Amino acid sequence: MAAATGCAAGAVPAGYTALAVKFAERQHSHHCLLVKEHQVREGADTAHPPRRTLFVLNVPPYCGPDSLSRLFSRCGHVQSVDICDKPGPGEKKDKLASKFFDHKTLKGFQVAYVVFRKPAAVQAAKALSQEGPLLISTESHPVKTGISKWIASYEASIVDPKELKAEVDAYMEDYDKKVAEEKAKAATEEGVPDEEGWVKVTRKGRKPGLPRTEAANLRVLEKEKQKRARKELLNFYAWQHRETKREHIAQLRKKFEEDKQRIALMRAQRKFRPY
C-alpha cells in the first residue's frame, strides 16, 4: 500500500484530509477523497449542520449516496448524505419534487455532504486516512456499472402510466385552484383604488389598457414613425433632389471603398493565383 500512504501522507491542502478510495479490490490505483469538517461562514446551513457534517471533495462518478453512507457508517451513524455538483448550501427538499418531472442527473465527479448524528464521527472519518484504500463496491454491496447499470436504468425509464396520470392530475388540480384564487383576487381588486387612490388598469373590463410588453411598446414607436414618414414630402424641393444624388454617389463610393478593402485582404491571402 505504498501508493495509498503516498496519497494520504503526501501533499494535502490545509484543512483537508485525503482518503484513498478505489472501486473494488481488483483495481490498482485509487482516487483521493479530500474531506474536512464542514464550516459555514454566515447564517445557519440547516441541511448541513456544522461540526456534524463532513465535506467530501472529488467523489468519483460511480460512488452514489448509498456507497458513501456505507463507507462512512463505520465511523458513526450517518444521518444523511447529500451529493451535489458544486459546493453550496443545502437546499430544502421540495415537497413537490416528483419522480417524473424533476430529474436531477449527477454528472461526473461530485462533492458530498455527509451528515453524522454525532460530531465525533467526523473526527473518526478523518482518521480513516491511516488505513488502506476504501472500497466502493464490495461483494456484499456490489455497485452496478456498465452494461448492468444501463439495463437497469433502461428498465427504470419505463413509466407506469397510471402513476404518472395520478401525479399529473393532482398537480393540475392544485394549479387550477391556484389560478382560480388569483383570478378571484384580481376580480375583487378590479376598479378599486388603493390607499393612495390609484386604480390599476388591466386588459379586462370596458376600457382595456395596452399590454405592458416590450413588443407592444415597439409597435407603438413604429407606428409613430410611419405616421411621421407619411407626412414628409420627398422630391419636392430642389435641395432634396440634390441630396438624393449626392447620397447615391456617396453610396457608390462607399461600396467601391469596401470592395477595395476586400481585394486588399484577398491579395494578402494570395487568392489570385489560378494555378
Partner 1 sequence: MAGSPEAAEEAEQGPEQGSEPPAGSAVRRGKRAAPAAAAPQPAKLSRAELYRPPTSEELTQLKETEDLFHSSLLRLQIEELLKEVTLKEKKKKKIDSFLHEINNLLSAIPETPETELTDQAWLSEDVKVPFLQVPFSVKGRFRFVPPAELKVVGSYLLGTCVRPEINVDIAVTMPREIFQDKDNLNQRYHRKRALYLSHIAQHLSKEKLFGSVKFAYMNSNHLKPILLLRPQGKDEKIVTVRLHACPDSDLFKPSRFYPSKNNVRTAWFMEQSTPKEGTTEPPTPHYNNSILCDTVMLSHLHFLSNAATDFPGMKDGLALLKVWLNQRQLSKGLGCFSGFLVSMLVAYLLMKRKIVKMMSGYQVLRSTLQFLATTDLSVTGISLAKDADPSLPVLDDFHQAFEVVFVDPSGLVNLCADMTASKYHQVQFEAKRSMEILDDRMVDGFQALLMTPKPMLRTFDHIFHLKHVSKLQGTCKKMQLLNELMDWGGNYVAAALPFVVSLLARGLSQRAQLVAHSLPQIPEWPIDAEPPKHKDVGPLTFGLLFVPEFAASTLEKGPQADHPEALEFRTFWGEKSELRRFQDGSICEAVVWEASTACQKRLIPEQIIRHLLKLHADIPESSICYTGALLESVIRTGKEAGGTGEEAMVSVVCSYDDLSRKLWNLKELPLTVTAVQGVHPALRYTDVFPPIPMKPIYSFHNRSKHFLLPSEEKPCPAYITPLKIICHMEGSGQWPQDKGAIKRIKAAFHLQLAELLRQQHQLVCRPAVTHTDVYKDGYVFRLQVAYHREPLILKEVVTPEGMLKYQDTEESRQLELETLHLPYLTSSLHGLQQQHPVFGSTSRLAKRWISAQLLSDSISEECVDLLVAFLFLHSAPFTPPSSPQVGFLRFLNLLATFDWKNNPLIVNLNTGLTDSDCTEIKNKFVAARSRLPVMFLATPKDQWSSMWTRERPSAQILQRLVLLASESLRALEEQLMDPLSDQDVKMVFRPPLDFYDVLIHLNPNQIPRLLESVDRPVKSVCRGVVKNSSAMNILFPVVDYDPVQLYLQELRNAFDDLALFFYDKHGGEVIAVLWKPLSFQPQPFKVSSMRGRKVTTLNNELVCIPNVEAILEDFEILGEGLVKSVEARTEKWTI
Kindly identify the residues of this chain, within the stretch 37-66, that bind partner 1 according to CB under 8 A: 57-58, 60-62
- Cell numbers at residue 201, please? 388598469
Per CB under 8 A, contacts with partner 1 among 61-120 are 61-62, 86-87, 100-101, 107-109, 111
Give the total of residues touching partner 1 (CB under 8 A).
81
Listed ranges 19-27, 66-74, 184-192, 219-227: which one lies at the site for partner 1 (CB under 8 A): 19-27
Residue 180 found at the interface with partner 1 (CB under 8 A):
no
474536512: which residue's cell?
Answer: 36
C-alpha cell at 205: 373590463
d(CA 218, CA 171): 37
Residue of 153, 179, 143, 177 lying closest to 63 (CA atoms): 143
Q: Which residues pair with 55 in a beta bridge?
A: 36, 113
- DSSP SS3 for 121: helix
Of residues 198-237, which lie at the interface with partner 1 (CB under 8 A)?
Answer: 211-215, 217
What is the nearest approach in angstroms of partner 1 to the Cβ of residue 19?
Answer: 12
Q: How far is the CB of 226 from partner 1 (least distance, A)?
A: 22
Among 51, 74, 219, 253, binds partner 1 (CB under 8 A): 253
HSE toward the beta carbon, residue 268, CA cutoff 13 A: 6
Q: What distance in Å separates the CA atoms of residue 71 and residue 185, rounded to the nearest whole number? A: 54
Element (H, E) at 55: strand 53-59
Residue 57 CB, shortest distance to partner 1, in Å, is: 5
Q: Which is nearer to partner 1, 56 or 76 (CB)?
A: 56
In this structure, is the dihedral angle defined by the CA atoms of residues 218, 220, 226 and 228, taken in order, positive or negative? negative
Among 77, 117, 141, 175, binds partner 1 (CB under 8 A): 175
> Interface residues for partner 1 in 135-154 (CB under 8 A)?
145-151, 154
User: What are the C-alpha distances in Å from 218 to residues 47, 159, 223, 236, 268?
Assistant: 47, 46, 9, 31, 44
State in angstroms the smallest separation of the CB of 273 from partner 1: 6
Indicate the residue among 230 and 269 with the shorter CB distance to partner 1: 269
Least Cβ distance, residue 225 to partner 1 (angstroms):
20
CA distance 232 to 135: 83
| Site membership for partner 1, residue 13 (CB under 8 A) | yes
User: Residue 47 CB, nearest distance to partner 1 (Å)?
Assistant: 18
How remote is the C-alpha of 3 from its chain's centroid? 37
Contact indicator for 122, 116 with CB cutoff of 8 Å: yes
252 lines the binding site for partner 1 (CB under 8 A): yes
Is 23 a binding residue for partner 1 by CB under 8 A? The answer is yes
Residues 4, 8, 19, 32: which binds partner 1 (CB under 8 A)?
32
Q: How far is the CB of 183 from partner 1 (least distance, A)?
A: 12
